[in-house]
Structure 1
Amino acid sequence: MKILVIGSGGREHAIVKQFNASPSVDKVFVAPGNAGMVNDAQIIPIDSMAFEELAQFAIENEIDLTFVGPEQPLVAGIVDHFTKHNLRIFGPNKAAAQLEGSKSFAKELMKKYNIPTAAYETFTEVDKAKAYIEKLGAPIVIKADGLAAGKGVVVAMSVDEANTAVEDMIGNQLFGESSSSVVIEEFLVGEEISYMSFVHNGQIYPMVISQDHKRAYDGDKGPNTGGMGAYSPVPQIASEVVELAYNTVVVPTVKAMEQEGTPFTGILYAGLIITDDGPKVIEFNARFGDPETQVVLPRMTSDFGLFITALMNEKPFELEWSDAEMLGVVIASAGYPSDVQKGAQLPNLAVLEEAGLHVFHAGTKAGTEGFIANGGRVILVVGSESTLKEAQQKVYIGLSKLEWEGLFFRKDIGWRTFQ
């Protein structure tokens, strides 16, 4: 098969690597990709939002399957566009991608179909939002209704902080049209997990779970980011809890989308919090999580190309996973997530690979002396061992061998499982 992957980040690098390792796949293209993917796919310099150019490339190069990584093209309707050209593409269409593209759509769906989530209200006016905050008190969660690259959530520990978030989002249009409406939720307490599933026409193939670290700094301090690291499995979460989440969240959501006339194909990502009352949904995404993909997808031992083909042809498939335990640490540019300072020279990454670590490129470009930081999250370094503790030690020993000037990373990824 010939595969086209859409996107340019660390998640897409993991998808590319997985297809590249599949015996059923002859050739992998990635558009627009990044410089660090050059050994795993042919880089195609077409923007992920240039739907017609991408479709024409797929036609001219007889692409068998296109796999969409990021949320923006999905929400904008890339699947609908490819479908019009009779091209096979894996991901939700525009209507189904609302599950991620609109927080209020997702919350209303959950309310209608009794899918467990935090109590909430949606607002478009600053004064009404502030009155609701005053009524509920803090801590409280403020979310931009639309897409905000993983940065549109503020967990406010005081009423003043919550009011400022509302003023920034609605009043000052911090995320443009995406924050003209905000969802305000009750603050829930518990362990968070990322539970992703492959879905097509009511078929559901759940993946192994993972846990992400959203806060920028050690000890879960600092602002929310797109994710500073992740690990899989999550030993402190019992298998019974995962099964409960499957039955109370995943299956009902897939059925609800069908009943609403917006059947879901693609990656259903359920960001869950495990409360005393059971699993509750924090958010849905309509694609793989980043950085969770980089520690989940490499655990798949099945042929990825064969599996996606079987899924889309509605043929049964025995999806198999490795017992390897994986932990990944994001290396970010100084100032991330707000005042990102690009341009740092990366050290010799071959040192990490020689130590048996996997390097996934997110925001890198080629320079005269190796790679240069070209984004907020630059690379993700993953250790794979028989235990998470060994994987964690392997990553941090590897990182300690290099200088990271102009860059930073958390030193405590995986801490919840070692308490």
Structure 2
Amino acid sequence: MKSITSQKILIIGNGGREYAIGRAFSQDSRVDRIYFYPGNGGTNKLGENISVQTDEELIRFILSHQIDFVFIGPEAPLVEGMSDVLREAGIKVFGPSSKAAQLEGSKAFMKDFVSRFGIPTARYLQTSHYDEAREFIISLTPPIVLKADGLCAGKGVVIVNTHKQALEELKNMLEGKSFGEAARCVVIEEFLDGYELSVFALCDGEEYVLLPASQDHKRLLSADRGPNTGGMGAYAPTPLCDEEMMKKIENLIIKPTLKGMQKEKMPFYGVLFAGIMVVSIGDVLQPYLLEFNVRFGDPECEILLPLLKTPLLDLCYGVMEHKLGLLKVEISQRYCVGVVIASQNYPYSTSEAKAISINDVDENLGHICFAGVNLKDGILMATGGRVLVCVGVGESLKEARKNAYALVGKVHFDGMNYRDDIGFRALKNV
């Protein structure tokens, strides 16, 4: 690859993921300037938050400020085609095309795609017709999984325990009462019983680099109780994914997906996330694909980037220039645990803004990534949703979790809410 110097980078998004990406770039001496659109009250410590109203204004800003490339963080702009618009304007972009982003943008597209290429996934039906869906639901043994086809910010999945509940939820989804227009088409799946893994691959269309397997914690409350959320914490690497399991995921899911995307003339460039359910079939553990995302997860991004020894900047150029195969990618042998601190009413409703106080943070423990925050008269305010992520780093998973919760103890605002058991599956026998 060519020598990389004096980079100006624009990051699209306003969450903890985008803060983590900006933080990784800010530690690279080759990065001169970082912009965020729109950013949050914490990202302006790493760079400059900008505000524009249209794609045309955004393109003018990028060109006039001689920005080297744009990193698109969230799923919505990718699915809506922002990367295509920017590329057509001659701007370098880290992120897949809108066609490739259908892997996340449409669960029906994803399920049909993986079925065509023999990728292991749960038995399913995608439909907009109640009678057809009812017949399939009755054929399944509960629990039963119903998914809205479109984007729902990670919350468009319902698991029910009876046929009656499934039919009631189906009716609500098809009528737009649950998840709005995103559920006018539904995907109904058999329930897979096992444990989940999050596996991320950086992809340049042909070559790919696997990052350490991680595990997200979706439920709001400790011991996996309460409703699903966007994620209340994560850790990596997980001992629940050994070398043999990672090889299975690579050969059965990642490789055939990238080959299939090439075959269907929508090669995948960027970050591909595979949500995996590991199921025990007799004495054999088998990975099944639950879902794809076409970007870094949040909060997984916050705990994966600190494990990179190879600079994120080099990886981005490896992807954008289709030269990942030329890079020698190194991963730290340490562990990371991220604990999300959310606002009082998350995920049920909005919360009143509250002032945040943070005591001195010992950087030997880790760091904090900011998400749902803004600045008011110089004071950092928790503005609702997931507010920040305390990222602990250690030589063992146990040490990393201890450090993460030590950081949690440094944060104070009224109504703060977090789980006290991140990493419990891996540590329960330690």
Secondary structure of 2:239 counterpart: coil
Secondary structure of 1:351 counterpart: coil
Q: Cα deviation per residue 1:64-101 (whole Å; 9 max; x = unaligned)? A: 11110000000000111011111110111111110100
Secondary structure of 1:15 counterpart: helix
* Contact preservation (8 Å) 2:361, 2:407: yes
> Which residue of the partner structure matches residue 25 of structure 1?
31
* Contact preservation (8 Å) 1:24, 1:306: no
Secondary structure of 1:266 counterpart: strand
Distance (Å, rounded) in 1 between the aligned partners of 2:14 and 2:132: 39
1:191 CA displacement: 1.6
Q: Cα deviation per residue 1:262-285 (whole Å; 9 max; x = unaligned)? A: 111111111111112411110000
> Which residue of the partner structure matches residue 153 of structure 2?
149
Q: Greater CA deviation, 127-136 or 74-83? A: 127-136
> Which residue of the partner structure matches residue 374 of structure 1?
383
> Which residue of the partner structure matches residue 374 of structure 2?
365
TM-score, normalised with respect to structure 2: 0.92
Q: Cα deviation per residue 1:269-313 (whole Å; 9 max; x = unaligned)? A: 111111124111100001111110000011111122123223322
1:244 CA displacement: 1.0
1:51 CA displacement: 2.6
From 284, 287, 308, the counterpart of 1:279: 287
Distance (Å, rounded) in 2 between the aligned partners of 1:397 and 1:86: 46
* Contact preservation (8 Å) 1:23, 1:303: no
Distance (Å, rounded) in 1 between the aligned partners of 2:39 and 2:321: 28
Query: Which runs of structure 2 are paired with 1:74-113 in the superposition (5 Å)?
Result: 74-113=78-117
Distance 1:46 1:243, change over 3 A: farther
1:388 correspondence with 2:397: yes
Distance (Å, rounded) in 2 between the aligned partners of 1:344 and 1:142: 36
Distance 1:336 1:167, change over 3 A: farther
Q: Greater CA deviation, 65-74 or 304-313? A: 304-313
1:288 correspondence with 2:292: no
Distance (Å, rounded) in 1 between the aligned partners of 2:68 and 2:387: 30
Distance 1:171 1:140, change over 3 A: same
What letter matches 2:51 in structure 1?
P
> Which residue of the partner structure matches residue 169 of structure 1?
173
* Contact preservation (8 Å) 1:209, 1:296: no
What letter matches 2:409 in structure 1?
S
Distance (Å, rounded) in 1 between the aligned partners of 2:321 and 2:171: 48
Secondary structure of 2:77 counterpart: helix
> Which residue of the partner structure matches residue 297 of structure 1?
305
Distance (Å, rounded) in 1 between the aligned partners of 2:71 and 2:351: 31
Query: Which runs of structure 2 are paired with 1:192-271 in the superposition (5 Å)?
Result: 192-271=196-275
1:418 CA displacement: 1.2
Distance (Å, rounded) in 2 between the aligned partners of 1:256 and 1:190: 27
* Contact preservation (8 Å) 2:359, 2:410: no
Structure 1 unaligned spans of 5+: none
From 321, 337, 342, the counterpart of 1:313: 321
Distance (Å, rounded) in 1 between the aligned partners of 2:77 and 2:96: 10
Identity between Structure 1 and Structure 2 (%): 39
* Contact preservation (8 Å) 2:173, 2:186: yes
What letter matches 2:301 in structure 1?
T
> Which residue of the partner structure matches residue 3 of structure 2?
none
Distance (Å, rounded) in 2 between the aligned partners of 1:71 and 1:207: 19
* Contact preservation (8 Å) 2:358, 2:410: no
Distance (Å, rounded) in 1 between the aligned partners of 2:412 and 2:68: 42
1:155 CA displacement: 1.9
1:354 CA displacement: 6.1
Secondary structure of 1:146 counterpart: coil
What letter matches 1:317 in structure 2?
L
From 9, 13, 23, the counterpart of 1:7: 13
1:404 CA displacement: 4.3
1:325 correspondence with 2:325: no
1:127 CA displacement: 4.4
Secondary structure of 2:90 counterpart: coil
> Which residue of the partner structure matches residue 115 of structure 1?
119
* Contact preservation (8 Å) 2:213, 2:241: no
> Which residue of the partner structure matches residue 340 of structure 1?
350
1:42 correspondence with 2:51: no
What is the root-mean-square deviation of aligned Cα atoms in Å?
1.7
Secondary structure of 1:134 counterpart: helix
1:134 CA displacement: 2.6
Distance (Å, rounded) in 2 between the aligned partners of 1:5 and 1:403: 28
> Which residue of the partner structure matches residue 407 of structure 1?
416
Distance 1:415 1:266, change over 3 A: same
1:394 CA displacement: 1.8
Distance 1:368 1:103, change over 3 A: same
Distance (Å, rounded) in 1 between the aligned partners of 2:177 and 2:60: 36
* Contact preservation (8 Å) 1:228, 1:291: yes
1:353 CA displacement: 5.0
* Contact preservation (8 Å) 2:176, 2:184: no
What letter matches 2:317 in structure 1?
T
1:369 CA displacement: 6.9
From 395, 398, 409, the counterpart of 2:407: 398
Distance (Å, rounded) in 2 between the aligned partners of 1:407 and 1:149: 21
TM-score, normalised with respect to structure 1: 0.95
Count of matched residue positions in the alignment of Structure 1 and Structure 2: 416
Secondary structure of 2:360 counterpart: helix
